[in-house]
Amino acid sequence: MLKKVVVIIILPFSVLFAQVARYRTEQISDPRTYAGFDSLNTRFIGNWPFGVTYAVSFDPSRNLVFCGSGGGVYVLDVSNPANPQKISEIRTRGVVHELSYQSATQRLYIAAGQGGIEIWNIANSTDPVKLGSYFISGDAYGVYVSGSYAYVAGGNSGLRVVDISNISNPSEVGYYDTPGIAYSVYVSGSYAYVADAFQGLRIINISDPSNPSESGYYDTPGDARGIFVSGSYAYVADWGSGLRIINISNPSHPLEAGYYDTPGVARGVYVLGSYAYVADAWEGLRVVNISDPANPSETGFCNTPGNADGVCVFGSYAYVADDWEGVRIVNISSPSSPQEVGYYRALGLALGISVSGSYAYIGDYWYGLRVIDISTPSSPMEVGRCYVPTGGYGVFLSGTIAYLAGGYGGLHIIDVSNPSNPQEVGYYDTPGIVNDIYVSGPYAYVADYTEGLRIINITSPSNPFEVGYFDTPGAANDVYVSGSYAYVADGSSGLRIISIANPSNPYEVGYYDTPGETYSVCVSGSYAYITDQYFGFRIIDVSNPIAPVEIGYCLTPSYAFGLHVSGSYAYVANYAGGVRIIDVSDPSNPYEVGFYDTPGSAMNVYAVGSYIFVADYSAGIQICEFLGIGIEERYRNPAGVIKLLHNPNSEVIELIFLEPVKEMLNLSLYDALGQRVRGYTVGTGSRFTLDIRQVPGGIYFLRIESKNLDKSVKVLVVE
């Protein structure tokens, strides 16, 4: 049987999607200007974006610490290091990767990923004011300010030079496209030193900011992620190769002077005096004596509880950006015995979300339940929280009770009648890992990942007990109850339909095995709407529960996770693809009518009216509004026309670029196990045809590599 053509459309700096050719032939015209976030018929409203901590900076004159937290920054008073206090917060559009604070101007420069750079005035620390922003080409991973310029490490887009002399209207004046992925930058004199991933240290002459040029480089053995320059040396946090010390006295011929292979993964570095302080992931903070650069040695360490990503040092304290554990304050007055003295814990990872009235309830992977006031969608605020040691996954609201899936901790029953002070009133520890819950009548139906469907009597919230269970054959990810049936999204075993007419004796009546990993399920009328992690959005006719049948589907550009169905629309949390809005008015022909590319990783979604609330993993809650067809925000990508083709008799992958490729491309096709099954090399142009004859049907990943591009996209081959 012939395979259907696979069409992949690639926009500059980002892959749009990879799908089998099931589309209508159509043209998409996009004459709009460059902005930070892709969208269609959907606009950004507001966010409560706080999450894990990747970046930290310090104002020594006022004892302030700036703690990056997902898509925001907490301003902390650390005059008492043992008890840091939040005094204000900043909300950015993208995830915060690096911070640069200028004491003289009291301005904070934020590298916010796809949100570009943002500039904030912190003169009034209790009320920071945004002064300006600039969307760079690519993602802003690092920023360093010198004079009238901000030097931005722009990932695949290399080093970008932004003129900030007009703070309210910054503009790019020059760039140098480094060969790797620019993660961090440090400016000293006439040079910018760039940590360029697997291309090591790149030294860029910036004496003419409009025309930067490379003076020299040193290819470190690892993956250069962090950089600090002091005197004649550049100190590189080189991932698995530890701390590398590079002599840069001759910028055109840098040479390694010495190294110390830290026990973890070196992500960030700060140098003060005779010591380099290395953020070493799961090995915490390492203190390395660099008084002899040729022979550095570890003096001491402090094992932080999270993954140390970045570090800032002043006086007797090191401030460590510790991922899901927030910022940790370490006393380094004795370098041989650094000790943690205080911390501020930020939001963890937003996995689940449910909305009721004026509140959104977040399942926080590291903390438990968080309650967000969304009465003003443009400015949501946290009002309460309930700590659960095993964290939170899915959330279900019933009246004044929140039912929280607590992973290994089972089902947690939380009274939210006072949203500012939620209190746990009961729990039931199921035998496996609780992923999600659905409450109907006196029962909570629990999707227990390893143990199937568990039915819990919740008549007395303080004393829940199990009345029945059905051990599904796969991994129970989600459950939805309608009438006398529980519908379980059961991973590799698809959709399972279980009779719950007698809760003490549930039994399976039918199932539909989707092509991939079934993740979420909603039921309305005669239809079950499901997300298949690898195969997008599927619609199953369950009017006959004994023999369910698929009647329609719509592929999504990334992994399909959470799902909410309301009226004629299904809302899909699409991991790297944000939230996708699918018209289901004709269940046999669902199609996408809108999307919004969130800054984090969309894990779950809930829609109320035209508002869409997304649990965005490391970026908290993102709120957008579906405006209806024909009303669009600006794309991130430049103008152009895309034509989607349909050729069911072809045995090729069609690869179409919006702008012509001007360099050789290396392409590799990998199967779902990560094994390379075919390679291609193509030249310049905008359209390429890749032969997939003899490639069995299944899920594949096409990796596209060149000097300026490194992307992987999912490909479905149908026999």
CATH code of the domain covering residue 679: 2.60.40.3080
Q: What is the pLDDT of residues 490-525, one digit of tens each?
A: 999 999 999 999 999 999 999 999 999 999 999 999
> Is it the case that residue 230 has pLDDT exceeding 90?
yes
Residue 642 has what pLDDT?
26
Residue 643 has what pLDDT?
28
Q: What is the pLDDT of residues 37-69, one digit of tens each?
A: 888 889 899 999 999 999 999 999 999 999 999
Q: Give the largest CA-CA distance in the chain.
A: 80
What is the distance between the alpha carbons of residues 703 and 670, in angstroms, rounded to a whole number? 8
What's the chain's average pLDDT? 89
pLDDT band at 638 (very low <50, low <70, confident <90, very high): very low
Are residue 209 and residue 278 in the same domain, yes or no?
A: yes
Are residue 23 and residue 65 in the same domain, yes or no?
A: no
Q: Is the pTM of this model over 0.85?
A: no
Q: What is the pLDDT of residues 167-195, one digit of tens each?
A: 999 999 999 999 999 999 999 999 999 99
Per the structure, the count of domains in the chain is 2
Residue 26 has what pLDDT?
26
Query: Which residue type does 701 have?
Result: F
> Is it the case that residue 714 has pLDDT exceeding 50?
yes
Among 243-257, 392-406, 455-469, 652-666, the range scoring the smallest mean pLDDT is 652-666
> Is it the case that residue 656 has pLDDT exceeding 90?
no
Average pLDDT for 643-671: 60
CATH code of the domain covering residue 308: 2.130.10.10
Q: Note down the domain range covering 293.
A: 52-344
Residue for token digits 């900043």?
90
21 in any annotated domain? yes
The answer to whether 574 and 558 are in contact (CB under 8 A) is: yes
Are residue 20 and residue 100 in the same domain, yes or no?
A: no
Are residue 107 and residue 24 in the same domain, yes or no?
A: no
282 in any annotated domain? yes
Q: What is the pLDDT of residues 76-90, one digit of tens each?
A: 999 999 999 999 999
Q: How far is CA 626 from CA 102, 612, 633, in A?
A: 39, 7, 11
579 in any annotated domain? no
Query: Which residue type does 131 have?
Result: L
Are residue 184 and residue 73 in the same domain, yes or no?
A: yes
Average pLDDT for 276-286: 98
Q: What is the pLDDT of residues 129-174, one digit of tens each?
A: 999 999 998 899 999 999 999 999 999 999 999 999 999 999 999 9
pLDDT greater at residue 15 or residue 586: 586
Q: What is the pLDDT of residues 555-604, one digit of tens each?
A: 998 999 999 999 999 999 999 999 999 999 999 999 999 999 999 999 99
Domain final position from 295, 322, 344: 344
> Is it the case that residue 20 has pLDDT exceeding 50?
no
Are residue 19 and residue 132 in the same domain, yes or no?
A: no
Number of residues that this document lists for the chain: 719
Average pLDDT for 632-647: 33
Residue 21 has what pLDDT?
27
What is the distance between the alpha carbons of residues 365 and 70, in angstroms, rounded to a whole number? 14
Residue 38 has what pLDDT?
80
- Residues contacting 465, CB < 8 A, separation 6+: 428, 456, 457
β-strand partners of 67 = 56, 74
Average pLDDT for 282-305: 98
Are residue 23 and residue 134 in the same domain, yes or no?
A: no
The answer to whether 715 and 669 are in contact (CB under 8 A) is: yes
629 in any annotated domain? no
Are residue 16 and residue 147 in the same domain, yes or no?
A: no
pLDDT band at 640 (very low <50, low <70, confident <90, very high): very low
Residue 73 has what pLDDT?
98
Tokens encoding 651: 């045995």
Residue 352 has what pLDDT?
97
71 in any annotated domain? yes
> Is it the case that residue 636 has pLDDT exceeding 70?
no
Residue 373 has what pLDDT?
97
Encode 666-692: b = buried (16+ Cβ within 10 Å), e = exposed: ebebbbeeeeeebebebeeeeebebeb
Are residue 189 and residue 118 in the same domain, yes or no?
A: yes
β-strand partners of 665 = 682
Average pLDDT for 530-541: 96
Terminal-residue alpha carbon distance, the chain: 6
The strand pair at 26-30 and 213-218 is best described as: unpaired
Q: Which has the closest alpha carbon to 272: 60, 83, 69?
A: 60
575 in any annotated domain? no
Question: What percentage of the chain exceeds 90 in pLDDT?
Answer: 79
pLDDT band at 16 (very low <50, low <70, confident <90, very high): very low
- In order, the DSSP letters of 228-283 are EEETTEEEEE-BTT-EEEEE-SSTTS-EEEEEE--SS-B-EEEEETTEEEEE-BTT
Are residue 122 and residue 22 in the same domain, yes or no?
A: no
216 in any annotated domain? yes
> Is it the case that residue 9 has pLDDT exceeding 50?
no
pLDDT band at 468 (very low <50, low <70, confident <90, very high): very high
Residue 690 has what pLDDT?
76
What is the distance between the alpha carbons of residues 605 and 353, in angstroms, rounded to a whole number? 6
Domain final position from 298, 316, 344: 344
Residue 649 has what pLDDT?
43
Residue 716 has what pLDDT?
64
What is the distance between the alpha carbons of residues 466 and 454, in angstroms, rounded to a whole number? 7
Residue 666 has what pLDDT?
76
Are residue 149 and residue 194 in the same domain, yes or no?
A: yes
pLDDT greater at residue 345 or residue 464: 464
Q: What is the pLDDT of residues 361-388, one digit of tens each?
A: 999 999 999 999 999 999 999 999 999 9
Are residue 69 and residue 23 in the same domain, yes or no?
A: no
Domain final position from 292, 327, 344: 344
Residue 86 has what pLDDT?
96
537 in any annotated domain? no
